[in-house]
Amino acid sequence: MTTVLLRLTLLCGCVVGLAGAAAAQTGAEVARAYREAHAPAIVRDYAEMLAYPNRARDLDDVTRAAAYIRNKLRDAGVDTRLLTLDGVPPLVFGELRVPGAQRTLGLYAHYDGQPVDPSNWTHPPFEPTLYTSAMDSGGRPRGLPADTEGVDPEWRVYARSAGDDKAPIQALLSVIHAFRDGEVTPTSNLIFFFDGQEEAGSPRLGDYMELVRERVEGVDVWLFCDGPAHQSGRPLLALGARGSMGMEVTVYGATRNLHSGHYGNWAPDTGMILARLLSSMKDETGRVSIDGWYDTAEPLSEEADAALRAMPDWDSQLKQELGLARTEGEPQTLPERLMVPALNVRGMTSGNTGPLARNIIPNTAVAALGIRLVQGNDPAHLRRLVVAHIERQGFHVVADDPDLDARLRHPLIAKVTGGGGSVAARTSISDPFVMQVIAAATDAADRAFVEGALVISPGLGGTLPIALFTDVWQKPALVVPIANHDNNQHAPDENLRLANLWYGIDLFAEILTMP
């Protein structure tokens, strides 16, 4: 530890003299001291931010959430404004120019959240609730801490977006405040770019970038502050991410729900029709049976393949934790499976189950498909493959609910909607700016965990709008996640473990003061 500190102090351009302090402190030390002194206030501030509803489709809500964050950033001394485009959430843009800085960092995060079905949450998703540890490990709810209380890093705050993706915003705010208080100057110019439409696929992010073209062009490396840490609990840095596409398939029976007694055995059984269609798409080993599904996936580069092989094999522990006797695609490991395009059923609806189940034959059955793309995959192409497959199963494919005439002409009809998606992206590990960030993240991980803790992945399984930065604007981009891997991202009871917020503060302090 001493060695690391020494090395940092020697290398770091950010060594500052603190008025009245006996020894010079690194930026990371300043941030850590600030965090330790202000932990209860940081937790309360974070809870306040999480209380702002942030579904991308609720424009009023999401705009209020954006204004709140803009004000917080401005209070921290960042030159801030809301970029706006008609009908979509604003983008929180911020800029901190550092006289003499030779590098500009772009800091991407998103303040919008996934849709919520409050009936499945233990607490309302926008009433942040602190727990003494994870709910499913016997954690108990407790009030927000007063200034005089100690804060346990194992505490978790439960709320939508606690893990995905307001945590890095809070961590960055805390670091900026710590630096102001401690008179630390970052070593790079900073561009803050907080997206309000990530969970909706960031369809207008490119337009927002055009609005501040000269700023975007000046960025040397983008940091995507999003996603969870490695499942082992070790910190993670990723050189890319998969793309994502959602599709929805609806199959049709009669024009109305029918009584299962009076029509059962005669009326088309929509659930069975959908089941047959879905099961034609993927075999028992997890291999997608859609013609051409794997054809456009590019092979990994040598350096990406090397990074992949260096990753820890955590499958056994993960299977134990998640209660899985078998995984899809065994014996391939999770990191290997994330390098391949995925097709999943993310939702399925027909009639009702449980106490609301009724004796009907539902007139529709619906499946929501979740597709993840790897480098080389084009969303429109994969969509065409899915549609062609459905047609080969004998379905007449339509874009809208069929009218009576179409129903009478086609025994099998499938409505296919959705499909606008994002491509995958990868950044080269040998880019000099990338190497600087990796060095800083390595230091932060060494300090917060143990030497060599940082896991470097060739690509996240999740999706970020990285390709816009790497392919369109030709900038290197890295993913630096901080959330705990079991944060229930996108699911009910989403949460953040405070230790992960603390690590985020360490990480950004290190990166913002890297040589």
Site for a copy of itself in 208-267 (CB under 8 A): 227-228, 241-242, 244, 246, 248, 252-267
∠ CA 489-494-327 to the nearest 5 degrees? Answer: 45
Q: Using the rule CB under 8 A, is 462 a contact of a copy of itself? A: yes
Q: Find the shortest distance in angstroms from Cβ 67 to a copy of itself.
A: 24
For residue 204 the two structure tokens come to: 């207008």
Residues 125-144 that bind a copy of itself (CB under 8 A): 136
* Of 41, 83, 45, residue with least CA distance to 167: 45
SS3 70: helix
Q: Using the rule CB under 8 A, is 460 a contact of a copy of itself? A: yes
The correct pick among 97, 381, 392, 409 for binding a copy of itself (CB under 8 A) is 409
First vs last C-alpha separation in the chain: 19
Residues paired with residue 311 on neighbouring β-strands, in sequence order: none
Q: Find the shortest distance in angstroms from Cβ 313 to a copy of itself.
A: 13
Q: Using the rule CB under 8 A, is 282 a contact of a copy of itself? A: yes
The correct pick among 74, 75, 79, 115 for binding a copy of itself (CB under 8 A) is 115
For residue 456 the two structure tokens come to: 């470097």
Q: Find the shortest distance in angstroms from Cβ 337 to a copy of itself.
A: 4
Q: Using the rule CB under 8 A, is 26 a contact of a copy of itself? A: no
Pairing state of beta strands 221-224 and 477-479? parallel
Residues 6+ apart with CB under 8 A from 488: 163, 494, 495
Q: Find the shortest distance in angstroms from Cβ 297 to a copy of itself.
A: 12
Q: Using the rule CB under 8 A, is 297 a contact of a copy of itself? A: no
Distance, CA of 291 to CA of 382 (rounded, Å): 10
Q: Using the rule CB under 8 A, is 269 a contact of a copy of itself? A: yes
Per-residue contact flags (x/-) with a copy of itself for residues 82 to 111, judged by CB under 8 A = ------------------------------
Q: Using the rule CB under 8 A, is 355 a contact of a copy of itself? A: yes
Q: Using the rule CB under 8 A, is 411 a contact of a copy of itself? A: yes
Q: Find the shortest distance in angstroms from Cβ 101 to a copy of itself.
A: 34
SS3 62: helix
The correct pick among 489, 495, 500, 513 for binding a copy of itself (CB under 8 A) is 489
Q: Using the rule CB under 8 A, is 383 a contact of a copy of itself? A: no
Tell me, what DSSP letter sits at residue 56?
Answer: T
The correct pick among 2, 3, 148, 320 for binding a copy of itself (CB under 8 A) is 320
Question: Which residue stretch of 38-46, 189-197, 343-351, 375-383 sits at the interface with a copy of itself (rule: CB under 8 A)?
Answer: 343-351
Q: Using the rule CB under 8 A, is 203 a contact of a copy of itself? A: no
∠ CA 144-147-152 to the nearest 5 degrees? Answer: 60
Query: What does R_g of the chain's alpha carbons equal in angstroms?
Result: 25
Identity of residue 47:
A
* Of 377, 476, 472, residue with least CA distance to 426: 476
Q: How many CB atoms lie within 10 A of CB 118?
A: 12
The correct pick among 358, 381, 384, 392 for binding a copy of itself (CB under 8 A) is 358
For residue 402, how many C-alpha atoms fall within 13 Å in the half-sphere facing its CB? 26
Tell me, what DSSP letter sits at residue 202?
Answer: -
Q: Find the shortest distance in angstroms from Cβ 345 to a copy of itself.
A: 3
